Structure 1
Amino acid sequence: MPPTLILVRHAQALHNVDRDYSIADPELSALGREQCLELKANLVPKVLSQEDLPEVGLILVSAMRRTIETALLAFPELIEKGIPIVAHAGWQENSAQPCDIGSSISALKAEFPQVDFSSVDPVYPDKTSPAGAKYAYNKKAIMARGRSVLAELKERPEKAIIVVSHSGFLRVGVTGRWYFNADYRVFDFASEDKDDLSLKEREWTEKGGLGWSFEERVELGYGLPEEDKVVPS
């Protein structure tokens, strides 16, 4: 049976404060760190009790500072229980602005030794060269990346997986739903058919698990450029 997906947007980062997209791979703001504690208080008891959710067996994070920090601050109990935290290039944000370009894996390994970076695509953080074309900021690449990460998760053996990612990619590449900083939504795959990657959201996260997110739905791919374009996500 395919896993349940708990999809989390990172908490507020420095580039979110004043919409300064020139900040390279920003860390969380002070408010973002507070939001992580609210996420922790809301979601972790649900995970540990398994009343509303199956057993979580994996935490995936976009290989960017703000997503890694969110996971480490919100889910320390889960990590201490032995649930692996694994970085994944496929869940990075859409644009090629400095705020959405990751740091080198060697730098991140030194900064976050708790995280497994062994399976991160070697091309990361490049998304503008031919080698990094699958991470380019255009509709074709982002839609394909969304399908790719879902297909990968659908084949995973875990009962439930937490993914910490970004609003733009989650909204227009994966789920068609809005995510406020540090909010989350819970989805199940609509069928066990390998080729059917459609998702069905749990009713209790219609406004986000924390109740912070818009209910409106968005068409996948909405607003994305047909060709590469450098604009903020």
Structure 2
Amino acid sequence: MRHGQGWHSEAVSPNGHQIHDPWLTPTGEQQCRERCENFRRHGQPVVKRGKKIVALPIAEEASDAPCDTGSEVDILQADFPDVVDFDNVKYGWWHHDQELAIDPPSLNARAAKLRRFIRDRPEKEVVLVSHGFFNHYLTGDVNDEGEQTTPWWGETELRTFSFVEGDERAMIRETDESMLRRGAKEEVPRLNRPKERGKSISV
């Protein structure tokens, strides 16, 4: 799932990309409330069930703009006490270098690591809230130059995927139900194939 509308959105702030680690707008908060309502049939929200949201730096956006640069972990802990597990977030995590560099090979490697992390968890279903551009790396929908090959994700848009069985890169395939829900055309490829849409991901 992509996050809701933030103050960095072009629809709200013409130079919003210069805003550091922006909060959601009132519209973005309402989008999230509506998305939560859609999950009511699955029972209580995870937080009310005593579970925590897991914060993962490797799910950050594929950009080094101020709006895509996070805050220090102690600031985040103060903003979201008791509901978020920050064990994977270290001081200085927001620097866009090493594992979090923004060149296409590094982004592909990061996406593969995140897919494996999700695949190897004990839960059968996991909801990931991430960012519009990085989601294309996560799903393998980028070409050799790192340009996306499928449409942008809308604000709080939810797409559903399953893992390709036996794939060492933990590649994912969008489900038919998800394709139908967003009106995707049949000719839009659902799985990254090197001959069709760029190099396969290798780490």
TM-score class, shorter:
0.7 to 0.9
After superposition, what is the alpha-carbon deviation per residue over 1:70-104, rounded to whole angstroms, capped at 9, x for unaligned?
xxxxxx72210123211110000011110000000
Alignment map for 1:70-81 (pairs within 5 Å): 77-81=45-49
In the alignment of these two chains, the number of paired residues is 180
Task: Give the share of equivalent positions with the same residue, in percent.
Answer: 28
Give the TM-score, by structure 2 length: 0.78
Alignment map for 1:46-195 (pairs within 5 Å): 47-48=42-43, 77-113=45-81, 114-127=83-96, 132-176=97-141, 178-191=152-165, 193=166, 195=168
1:151 CA drift (Å): 1.3
Q: CA separation in 2, counterparts of 1:108 and 1:22? A: 20
1:174 CA drift (Å): 3.2
SS at match of 1:165: coil
- Bigger proportion of residues as helix: 1
Question: What is the one-letter code of the residue matched to 1:164?
Answer: V
Question: What is the one-letter code of the residue matched to 2:18?
Answer: S
SS at match of 1:188: strand
For residue 205 of structure 1, the aligned residue among 178, 184, 192 is 178
For residue 25 of structure 1, the aligned residue among 21, 25, 29 is 21
Give the TM-score, by structure 1 length: 0.69
Question: What is the one-letter code of the residue matched to 1:201?
Answer: E
Q: Please, what is the CA RMSD of the aligned residues?
A: 2.6
Larger radius of gyration: 2
Q: CA separation in 2, counterparts of 1:13 and 1:160? A: 27
Q: 4+ runs of 1 displaced by more than 4 Å?
A: 213-220
| Residues 160 and 31 of structure 1, relative CA distance in 2, 3 Å threshold | same
